[in-house]
């Protein structure tokens, strides 16, 4: 899931380091240094501007996303061998909020995960756990909003609502604790394919046996000319992929 409101300093640091803000700050710093007579400052501006443009292309965002989703495919292939315990539940990880006239609601990525989780529930009959804490001050936990959406939008019941997890690591720890109370030792994990490697690593540390249920595996770039045309939505995709790699590094060091 996304970082919660309780992790605001971490969110600020992430924004400062990753593009676009990190590269914009590099442009400003390079311009200031060039203005003060340091000639390489101009090269810093050019390099940061080019990097910002590159991160906005389908080529860069596609390769970054594919670098994460490739691991999901390898995990799936590895599990084609001797099976582990059969999943006894479905865990859906929260993503982001949306704010409208009627208040907070699930955002587009969260809705995609709920749709996939509802489809998996209909095909397997397994009970659902939704997980995610408070993402914005004055709003309910994202898990509560997910439960409401499953029931009203998909006519699917939710058995467990875990509303304390502040991040992906928390999703794993808190969800495992809830499931173990009911004797459940294996579950499907539903989240976006690019988020699954970090999620699976986090769940793996809890000892819960998990099976990946990826949402929206993307198609990689094919090298056509259109893959080099910058677009703001691809900058967003690059940001998510870079944040995932940064998050995995932090988890590896911390855990």
Residue 20 preceded by cis peptide, ω within 30:
yes
The pLDDT of residue 168? 94
The pLDDT of residue 81? 45
Rounded to an integer, the average pLDDT of 150-159 is 97
How sure is the predictor about 20, in pLDDT bands with cuts at 50, 70 and 90? confident
User: Looking at the domain assignment, is residue 250 inside a domain?
Assistant: yes
In SS3 terms, the chain reads as CCCCHHHHHHHHHHHHHCCCHHHHHHHHHHHHHHHCCCCHHHHHHHHHHHHHHHHCCHHHHHHHHHHHHHHHHHHHHHCCCCCCCCCCCEEEECCCEEEECCEEEECHHHHHHHHHHHHHHHHHCCCEEEECCCCCCCCCCHHHHHHHHHHHHCCCCCCEEECCCCCHHHHHHHHHHHHHHCCCCEEEEEEECCCHHHHHHHHHCCCCEEEEEEECCCCCCCCCHHHHCCCHHHHHHHHHHHHHHHHHHHHHHHC
Measured from the Cβ of residue 45, the count of other Cβ atoms closer than 10 Å reads: 19
User: Looking at the domain assignment, is residue 223 inside a domain?
Assistant: no
How sure is the predictor about 151, in pLDDT bands with cuts at 50, 70 and 90? very high
Q: For residue 15, which phi and psi values (nearest 5 degrees)?
A: -65, -35
Look over the chain and give the mean of its residue pLDDT values, rounded to a whole number: 89
Question: For residue 119, what is the domain's CATH number?
Answer: 3.40.50.620
User: Looking at the domain assignment, is residue 151 inside a domain?
Assistant: yes
Least confident of 18-32, 57-71, 156-170, 181-195: 18-32
CB 129 within 8 A of CB 92: yes
Structure tokens at 80: 């084609």
What digits encode the pLDDT tens for the residues 120-146? Answer: 999 999 999 999 999 988 899 999 999
The pLDDT of residue 125? 97
Please indicate whether residue 102 or residue 123 has the higher confidence score (pLDDT).
123
Cα–Cα distances (Å) from 15 to 9, 99, 158, 170, in that order, read: 10, 21, 34, 21
User: Looking at the domain assignment, is residue 81 inside a domain?
Assistant: yes
Rounded to an integer, the average pLDDT of 25-54 is 89
The pLDDT of residue 101? 86
User: Looking at the domain assignment, is residue 222 inside a domain?
Assistant: no
Number of domains observed in the structure of the chain: 1
How sure is the predictor about 39, in pLDDT bands with cuts at 50, 70 and 90? confident
User: Looking at the domain assignment, is residue 192 inside a domain?
Assistant: yes
CA angle (13, 17, 23) in 5-degree steps: 145
User: Looking at the domain assignment, is residue 225 inside a domain?
Assistant: no
User: Looking at the domain assignment, is residue 224 inside a domain?
Assistant: no
Q: Is the pLDDT of residue 60 over 80?
A: yes
How sure is the predictor about 19, in pLDDT bands with cuts at 50, 70 and 90? confident
Q: Is the pLDDT of residue 10 over 70?
A: no
Rounded to an integer, the average pLDDT of 218-226 is 87
- Structural domain that includes position 160: 5-217+230-254
Rounded to an integer, the average pLDDT of 75-80 is 50
CB 234 within 8 A of CB 218: no
Q: Is the pLDDT of residue 77 over 60?
A: no
**Contact partners, residue 101, CB within 8 Å, separation at least 6:** none
Please indicate whether residue 107 or residue 40 has the higher confidence score (pLDDT).
107
How sure is the predictor about 194, in pLDDT bands with cuts at 50, 70 and 90? very high
The pLDDT of residue 74? 62
How sure is the predictor about 80, in pLDDT bands with cuts at 50, 70 and 90? very low
Least confident of 5-14, 41-50, 191-200, 205-214: 5-14
């Amino acid at each position: 899931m996304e970082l919660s409101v309780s992790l605001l300093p971490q969110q600020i640091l992430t924004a400062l380091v990753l593009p676009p803000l990190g590269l914009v700050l590099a442009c400003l710093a390079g311009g200031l240094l060039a203005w003060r007579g340091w000639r390489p400052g101009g090269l810093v501006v050019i390099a940061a501007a080019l990097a910002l443009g590159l991160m906005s292309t389908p080529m860069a965002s596609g390769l970054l996303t594919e670098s994460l989703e490739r691991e999901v495919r390898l995990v799936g292939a590895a599990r084609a061998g001797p099976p582990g315990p059969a999943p006894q539940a479905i865990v859906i990880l929260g993503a982001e909020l949306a704010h409208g006239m009627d208040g907070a609601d699930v955002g587009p990525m969260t809705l995609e995960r709920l749709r996939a989780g509802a489809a998996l529930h209909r095909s397997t009959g397994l009970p659902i756990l939704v997980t995610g804490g408070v993402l914005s001050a004055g709003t309910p936990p994202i898990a509560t909003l997910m439960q409401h959406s499953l029931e009203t939008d998909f006519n699917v019941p939710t058995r467990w609502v875990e509303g304390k997890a502040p991040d992906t690591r928390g999703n794993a720890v808190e969800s495992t604790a809830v499931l173990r109370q009911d004797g459940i030792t294996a579950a499907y994990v539903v989240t976006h394919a690019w988020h699954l490697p970090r999620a699976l690593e986090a769940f793996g540390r809890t000892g819960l046996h998990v099976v990946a249920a990826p949402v929206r595996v993307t198609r990689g770039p094919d090298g056509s000319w259109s893959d080099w045309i910058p677009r703001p939505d691809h900058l967003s995709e690059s940001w998510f992929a870079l944040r995932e790699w940064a998050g995995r590094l932090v988890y590896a060091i911390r855990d």
